[in-house]
Structure 1
Amino acid sequence: MQHTYSQINSAKIVGTVTDSVGSPITYATIILKNSNKGTTTDSKGNYTVSNLPAGSFTVLISAVGYHTQSQVVELADKEIKELSVSLKMLPRLLNEVVVTSRRRDERKENLTSSISVVSPQTIQQLQTVSNNAADILAVAVPGLGVSSGTSSNWGQSLRGRQVLVLVDGVPQSTPLRNGSMDIRVIDPYAIERIEVIKGATSIYGNGAAGGIINYITKSNTGVKKFSSKTELATTGSIVHSEGSLGARAYQSFYGRAGKFDYTVSGSFEQTGQMKDAQGDIIGPIYSLSNNEIYNGFAKAGYNFSDKQRLQFSYNYFGSQEQGDLKEVLGSIREGRKTTSVPGYVTGSSPGTRWNHTGLLKYSHDNLFANHSLNVSAYLQDISTVFFYSNQFEGGGQSTIQSVKRGLRLDLSAPFALGNRISGNLAYGVDLLKDATSQPLLDGRTWVPEMNLGSTAPFLQVQSTLFNNLVYNGGVRFESMDIAVADYTTLKPYNAQTRTFGTSINVKGGNIGYNNLVFNSGLKYNRFNLFKPYVNFSQGFSVADLGLVLRAARVTDIANIQTEAVIVNNYEVGFASEHNIFRFEAAAYMSKSKLGSSFQEINGFYTTVRSPEKVHGFELAADAYATNNLTVGATYTYVEGKRDSNNNGKFEDAADTYLGGERISPPKYTAYVKYTPLQHLNFRLDYIGSGARDRFQKGENGLYKTYEGKVTPYSIINLASSYRMSPSTTIKVGIENLLNADYFPTRAQWLMFDQYYIKGKGTSFTLGLTVDI
C-alpha cells in the first residue's frame, strides 16, 4: 500500500515486538513500506519511528526466524501511535537476508547453495551452555565437524576441507599457515548472527575450499540515545568443583542520536580448571583451563542521508592459558588418558596474544544509474603462540604472526529484460596484502615470512526467470604473488625413532598464481513442498603453503610443489516447507587435482599433493509443534579419499582414505525448545558423534598419526532462562547433563599421547542479565 501524508513530519509510531510467549525480540526490523523510514528493536524489544508525516502507512515487522507481520497505521499530525506485535516463530530460518553473498539484500531462498544462519536467539541459548564459538557452531551447523572442546579447531573441518573464517567479511584465518585457531577469534557476546556458506567458494578469495564462516557483529540497535546491557556469569564443574570455578562479565552501551549511532562493549572471562567425567583436570594441550579471555568491540555509524552511510568497527580479542597446570602424560597403548595437575610449565603462555580487526566501510545506495556502492578498507593483525614442544631440537615454541591489509570495492545494480526476467549484477575488485610467518619465540625460523599481494576482480549475477527460476553465476580472477626470502629449515623430527634429521638451506623467490574460478547454479522456488537446486562452484586455496615450505627437502623454492588447490564442488539439494514443518537436504562431491593434507611416512610428516575426492550429505528437519514447543534434528555424513597412484580413480587398492584431521565421523544432533510458562524457556540439545574405522594398525600395534579408530559418543546439554522482569533475566546452562565419559574425536584419531584427553564432564553456567 502506498502511504499518503501531509508535509509536517511530527508523528511517531512506537511499540514492542515480542514472541508468542511474550519475550522481547531483539534486532527485529520495522520498515514503513514505500518510504525510507525504519528502525530495529533494542534489547527489550522496543522501537520508535520518528519524524513521520500524517497519513496512512503499511508497517512491516520482521525478525530472523519469525513470520513477518504487516499492519496499516493511520497517523494524524503530531500523533504518537502505539503498535506492539507478537511474532510467530518459524520452524527454520526461511527467508533471512544473507550479507556474505556480497550482494545487497540477498535472501537465502534465492541462493543456489547450502547456507546455515545461526540466529541471535540460537547464539544466546547455546552460549548459556558454552561460550566457545566452536561448540556453538558444532551444535548449530550441519556439515561442520564436532568440537574438541579446546581452544583449537584442528580437525573441525567443513565438509572435509579448510574453512575460511571472517568477521564482517574481514578474513581471520591464516591460509598461508593455517594454525587452526581461527574459530575462536571473537567473543560470542559481540556476534549478532553467524552465516555459514558450505562448499568451495571463491567470493572472498584464498582459503575457502570447504566454505565460509562469517561472524556478523552486533548492530547499532538502540532507539534511545543511551541503553546498556550487563551480564554476569559463573561457571564450574559439577563433578568436582574444587578449582573449577570461573567467572565472566559483559557490558555494552549503545544508542543513537540523530544521524549518529554507536555500540561499545567489553567482556572478560576467567575460566577455572576444566574437569572430565571422573573429576580429573583435562590435559593442558590447547586447554581452556585457567584461561584469561578479553574482548573489546566498538561500532559507530553516521548516516549522511537515507542512502549514504559511513561506518567504523573494531574488535580486539585475546585468550591465553595461565601456564600453571602441568601435564601428566597418558598412553594410548595402555588406554590411559592424559590429565593435568597444578605445577610449573616450561615456556610462555600459549594462546591468542592479540587479534585486532578494524573495518571502515562506506555505502551509497544510489551512486549512479541505480548502482549501489560498498567500499571497505580493513586491517587484521593476529599473534598466536603455541605450546612448548620437544619436537624442536632443544625444545621451543612457535608463533604464527599474520598482518592483513585489504580493500574491497563492490558495485551492484538491478536489471530487467522484459517482464519475465529480472536480476542483479554485482562486480568489483579485492586488493590484499598479507604477511604471514611462523618463527619460534627464540628467533629460529620454522616457516619463513610469506609476503602475499593479490588483485582479484569479480563478477556475479543473479537472475529470476519467469518468477520462480533463480540463476546465480559468476567469475573471479585471482592474480597473486608471494615473495619468500632465503631460509633454512629446522631439523625435522622423526616420530618413530624420536631423532632429528638434517636442515636444508633453501633459496627463496617469488611464487605467482593466476587462476580463473567460477560458479553457476539454479533453484526452482515455485512449490513450497519442493524447492530444488543444483550448483557448481570452485574454490581457490594456496594449500597451507607454510607447511610445504617448512617441510622442504630441496634447496630451491622453485623445485617445491607449491601449486594452488582448485576445488570443484558439485551439489544438489532441496528445501521443503509446509505450515509448521521444514526439511532440508543437500548432497555434494568435491574434487581437486592436488591435495594438501599431511601424512606420516616413515616417521616424518609429509605434505601429500595427490588428487582428492570428498563426498557427503546433510539432512535437517524442524517442526514448530505448538506455540511453546519446537523440535528439530540434523544428520551429517562426509567421507574422502586420495588418488595415491594418480590414475584418475579413487577405488584402487593403492588409494587411501583421508585422515581424521580432514574427515569427521558422522554427526547427529537433535533439539527441543520448550516454553512451559511465559518468560520461562528451556532448550535441550543432543550431540552425537558416530564411528569411523578406515585404517589398519601398524606392526607396532598402533595406528599411524591421523588414522586412529573413532568410536561413537554422545552428550546432552540443557539451557534455560527466566525473565524475572522486563529488564532482568537469569540463565542456567548444564553441559554434558548426564556426565558422559568419553574421548572427543580428535583425541582418538590423532594418535598422540599428549592429545589423548577426555571431554568435559557435567559443568554449569549461572548468569544474570540486566538491560537498561
Structure 2
Amino acid sequence: MMHKKMSMKPAAAAAAGVCMLMAAPYAAAWEQEESAREEGDVASVVVTATRNAKAVDKIPGAVSVITQQELSTQYLIADDPSQALSTYVPGYAPSRQKMTSTGESLRGRQPLILFDGIPQSNPLRAGMREGYFADSAIIERIEVINGASAMQGMGATGGIINYITKTPRTPGTTYTVNTRFASQFESDSLDWKTGLTVSHKSEAFDMLAYAGVQRRGMGYDGNGRRLGIDNVQGDTLDSHGNDLFVKIGRSFGAQRLQLSVNRFDLSGDGDYRNAPGVVAEGVPTSSEPGTPIGMTPRNKVRSASIDYRHAELAGGQLTAQFFSHDFESLYGATNTSTFQDRAIAPVGTLYDQSQVVADKIGSRITWSRPDLFVQGLELTTGLDWLRDHTQQRLAGTNRVWVPELKFRSLAPFAQLEYEFGPVTLRGGVRHEDAKLEVDTYTTLAAYGGRVVQGGSAEFSKSVKNIGAVWRFAPQWSAFASSSEGFGLPDAGLVLRGVTLANQSVSSLISLQPIVTRNNEIGINWRGAGGQFGISRYDSRSKLGSVIRINSAGIGLVERVPTTVKGWEANAEWRPIKDLSVFGTWATTDGKTAAAQGAPMDIDLGARSQGPDKAVLGANWRVKPQAQLRLQATHLRDRDINIGRRVGTSNLEEHFKGYTLVDAAVTWDSRYGRFGLSVENLFDRQYVGYYSQSAAAVDAANTYAGRGRTFALSWTRGF
C-alpha cells in the first residue's frame, strides 16, 4: 500500500482546469447507438471510448467500432478476442492464437485495453497476458481509438481498445442459453463452451448476470500435426476457464447508479508437453501427451466498478467511476539461465515459475457542459486518479524478480469543443502528475545479486491534443488531428535486469516516460449504400522503448527513438439490401535506431509491428432467417534488417505471408439461433507471423496455426 500523501502542483492543476481531454458517460450512449443501428444511420453511431460520447463523424481521428453482430459471427469462427481485433481493426497485428499476446500491437505500439472503462493493461510489468480477462459472451461491442491518446490515462501509445459489456434492453426478465462446440475431428480436439445469461429490466432496477464455463482441447495444423503448446508463456490449448459477471443498476430521475463485478479464470490442464520441431527441416513445434513440470499457466482476473451519472447537474452531465482491478498471471516452469542460483540448486537443474501480480484502484470523474456561454461550445473537464501496485515473483522459490512497483498518478484534464455548421474543432490538455516508488531490493543471482537502492521517480507532464472535422459535403467528412499519449517503459523489465553495482532506482534514466505524438489526416464517406475511410498517420517518440533479445535469450529494454508511419483504409458496400461487402487494409512502416543519436535505419521487429494486412469479406442474407459470411485475410511477406545486429541481438527477420479463408452461416428458428462455421476453410498449412519472424530459430517456439476447424453454436432465449 502507498501511505505517502499525494500532491499536485497548483499551477499545473489550474492550467489543466481550463484546457482539455475527454470524459466518460458510457451509459448515456447505449440507447443512442442501438437506435442508430436499427435505422441504418452509421454516422450517428455513438462512440464512448473518447470519454465524451460522440457520433463517429464528429471525432477527429480514425475510429473502429466492432458491433455485436460482427463479434458474434467472428467468435463463432474463432473464440479469440485478438483474432476479432485483427479481422476488424486495420492496424492490429495478427493473433498469436495463444494465451500470451506478445507481438499483438496496434499501429506498431501497445494499446491500452479497457473493460467498461476499467484498465486491464499492466504497463509497469507487461507480462502480455492482458488479452484474456472476460468471456466473449458478455461483450456487446468493442470500440477502438487508433493512435496515441491520453484521454483514458497512461499506456495508450498505440491507441485505446474498450470492451463494452451488454446491458438489459427488453422490459421483464429473460434467460438466454448459449453453447459452442468446435472440433477438428481428432480425439483430443474438442472445444466446448456453455453459458447462461439472466437479463432483467424494470422501473425499479435493471440487471445482467452471466455464468459460463469453457473447456478447450488440442488443435491440429493443415498437415494434420498436433499444434505446439506453449507450456511457459501460456496457451489456450488444453485449458479450462470460467466467468461470473453481474451488472446491476438503478435510475432515479436524472441520476443513475450502477455496480458491476467480473470474476474470470483461465488455466491450463497440464495434459500435454511442448515437443520441439526441427528448424533446419522446417518442421514446426508440436505437442505430446505428458505432464509438464510445475503448475500450469493461468490468468486470474477480478474487476469491479461503481458508476454514477447525473444528467442534469449545473447545466451539464456528471459521470463518476470508481474501480478496482486485481490481476494475477502465472507462467510455466522453466530452467532458464535467468532462474539459476548455485545457493539453491546446481546450475541447470533449477526450475522456477514467474508470476506477475498487479492490483489497481482508481477513479474517473468527468463533468461535461454543452453550449457554454455560446451555442455549440462544449466544455469537458474532470480528474483521474490511479494507484497501481505491480510486482513479479518466482513462485517456486518465493524469490523477488521485480520488486513491488508502487505507482500513483493524479491527472486533471479539460477539453473544449466548438461546433459551427459543418465544422467541429476540438482541443485540450491532460496533466499527468505521477510518481513511482520502489523499495531497496536485490536482483537475482543471474544478474550478479546486485543491491539496488530504493527510491522514486516523479513525472510531471502535460500531454495535448487538437483536431478538426469538416463535413464538407453530404455524407463526406475530413479530419486532421495531433494527439499525444503518455506511458512508461516496462519498468519491471528494466529493474529486474540491473547488472551494475551501486545503482539506485531514482538514477535509472531508462525509467523516463514515453511521450508519443500521433499526427493524422483522413477522409470518410458514410451513406445508405455503405461507408469508406482512409487515413495517413505519423507516430513519433523521441525517447521510445524497444525490447531486444540478446544471444542468451534475455529481453533488454533499449531507450531509443521510434517512428511509425502508415496508411489504413476500411470500407463496406451494400449493393442490395441483403448483401454487404467489407474490407480493411493497412500498411505499417516502423523505424528505430541502434542507439540515441544513431540513424533511424532499423525496422521495428515482430515484437512491435505487424505485417501489411488486407481483409476482404461478404455478408449475404440468404433468407430472412439465414445469413452467410465469407472472409479472407492476407498477410504480406516481410524481410527486414538483413545482416543487422545490435550488440548480441540479431535483428534479422523473415516472414512468408499467407492467406486464410473462413466461412460461417447462422439461421434463426423456433428452437433458437444456430451457427455453423469453418475456420481456415482450405486447410492451409502455415506458421504464424510472430513465430516465423521473432522465433524462427527456436525449435520450441515455432508454432503453426490452426488447420480447418468446424464450430457449431446454439443460442436461445426464454
TM over 0.5: yes
Query: What amino acid is aligned across from residue 148 of structure 1 in structure 2?
Result: R
CA deviation after TM superposition for structure 1 residue 576, in Å: 1.9
Amino acid aligned to 1:340: S
User: For residues 290-344 of structure 1, what are the alpha-carbon distances to aligned partners after superposition, in whole Å with 9 as ceiling and x for unaligned?
Assistant: 2111111111111111x10000111111111111101111233442211001112
Report deviation, 1:601: 4.3
What 5-or-longer segments of structure 2 have no aligned partner?
1-27, 341-349
Which letter does structure 2 place at the counterpart of 1:436? T
Query: 2:529 matched to which residue of 1?
Result: 580
- Given candidates 658, 678, 685, the residue that maps to 2:604 is 658
* 2:236 alignment partner in structure 1: 288
Offset at residue 416 of structure 1 (A): 5.0
Match of 2:296 among 334, 344, 349: 349
AA partner of residue 409 (structure 1) = I
Tell me the residue number matched to 1:54: none
What's the counterpart of residue 673 of structure 2?
Answer: 729
Does 1:512 pair with 2:458? yes
Paired position in structure 2 for 1:386? 331
**Displacement, 1:279?**
2.1
2:272 and 2:91 map into 1 onto residues whose CA distance is 34
Matched residue of 1:298: which SS?
A: strand
Whole-angstrom distance in 2 between the partners of 1:39 and 1:483: 40
Structure 2 distance, partners of 1:152, 1:637, is 24
- In structure 2, relative to structure 1, the CA distance for the partners of 1:605 and 1:272 (3 Å cut) is closer
Structure 1 gaps of 5+ residues are 1-35, 41-59, 69-88, 493-500
Q: Secondary structure at the match of 1:94?
A: helix
User: How far 1:94 moved relative to its partner?
Assistant: 2.9
8 Å Cα contact 2:562-2:591 kept in structure 1:
yes
The CA distance in 2 between the partners of 1:61 and 1:194, in whole Å, is 13
Mapped pair 1:469 → 2:417: no
Taking the aligned partners of 1:557 and 1:331, their CA distance within structure 2 comes to: 43
Matched, 1:627 2:577: yes
Question: How many positions carry a matched residue from both structures?
Answer: 668
Please list, as runs of the form range in 1=range in 2, the aligned pairs for 1:356-755 lying within 5 A after superposition: 356-368=302-314, 370-391=315-336, 392-393=339-340, 394-415=350-371, 422-442=376-396, 443-465=398-420, 467-492=421-446, 502-528=448-474, 530-554=476-500, 555-561=503-509, 562-601=511-550, 603=552, 604-647=554-597, 650=600, 655-697=601-643, 707-725=652-670, 728-751=672-695, 752-755=698-701
Partner residue in 2 for 1:48: none
Match of 1:169 among 110, 113, 117: 117
C-alpha offsets along residues 640-677 of structure 1, whole Å, 9 cap, x if unaligned? 11133534852xxxx32221100111011011101111
Distance of 1:39 and 1:762 partners within structure 2: 37
- SS for the counterpart of 1:228 is strand
Q: Per-residue displacement from partner, 1:483-517 (whole Å, max 9, x unpaired)? A: 1111122245xxxxxxxx53322111111111110
Residue 756 of structure 1 is matched in structure 2 by: 702
1:326 counterpart letter in structure 2? R
Rounded to whole Å, the distance in 1 between the matches of 2:194 and 2:279 is 39
Larger radius of gyration: 1
Structure with the higher helix share, 1 or 2: 2
CA separation of 1:149/1:61 partners in 2, compared to 1, >3 Å: closer, same or farther? closer
Give the root-mean-square deviation of aligned CA atoms. Answer: 2.0
Matched residue type, 2:45: E
CA distance 1:303–1:439, shift in 2 (3 Å) = same
What is the aligned counterpart of 1:230 among 177, 185, 192? 177
| Percentage identity across paired residues of the two chains | 27
Cα pair distance change 1:61/1:667, threshold 3 Å: closer
Q: State whether residues 721 and 731 of structure 1, in contact with CA within 8 Å, keep that contact through their aligned partners in structure 2.
A: yes
Q: Identify the match of residue 93 of structure 2 among 145, 148, 154.
A: 145
List per-residue Cα deviations over 1:6-62 (Å, max 9, x = no partner).
Answer: xxxxxxxxxxxxxxxxxxxxxxxxxxxxxx9x996xxxxxxxxxxxxxxxxxxx995
CA deviation profile, 1:72-131 (whole Å, cap 9, x unmatched):
xxxxxxxxxxxxxxxxx56xx43211111111x311111001110000110111111111
CA-CA distance at 1:135 after TM superposition: 1.1
Any conservation in 2 of the 1:166–1:212 contact (CA below 8 Å)? yes
Secondary structure at 2:84 match in 1: helix
Match of 1:311 in 2: 258
The equivalent residue for 1:299 is 247
Q: Does 1:768 align with 2:711?
A: no
Provide closer, same or farther for how the CA distance between residues 698 and 159 of structure 1 changes in structure 2, counting only shifts above 3 A.
closer
Sort the Cα spacing of 1:735 and 1:39 in 2 relative to 1 into closer, same or farther, 3 A. closer
Measure the CA separation in 2 of the matches of 1:661 and 1:707.
13
Cα deviation 1:583-637 (Å, max 9, x = unaligned): 1001111111112111134545321101111111101111011111100111111
Give 1:301's aligned amino acid: G
Shift of 1:704: 5.4
Partner of residue 126, structure 1: 74
Checking the alignment, whether the CA contact within 8 Å between 1:695 and 1:709 is kept in structure 2 is no
657 and 729 in structure 1: CA distance in 2 versus 1, 3 angstrom threshold: same
Pair 1:330 & 2:277 matched: yes
- Distance, in Å, in 2 between the alignment partners of 1:766 and 1:491 is 51
CA contact (8 A) 1:660 1:706 kept: no
- Mapped to 1, the partners of 2:651 and 2:289 lie a distance apart of 30
Higher relative contact order (CA 8 A, sep 6+): 2
Residue pair 2:155, 2:487 contacting (<8 A) in 1 also: yes
Secondary structure at the counterpart of residue 533 of structure 1: strand
Q: Distance in 1 between matches of 2:278 and 2:465?
A: 48
CA distance in 2, matches of 1:231, 1:707: 46
CA contact (8 A) 1:414 1:424 kept: yes
SS in 2 for 1:755: coil
TM-score relative to the length of structure 2: 0.90
CA distance in 1, matches of 2:278, 2:124: 33
1:241-267 per-position Cα deviation (integer Å, ceiling 9, x unaligned)? 221112110110111232311111111
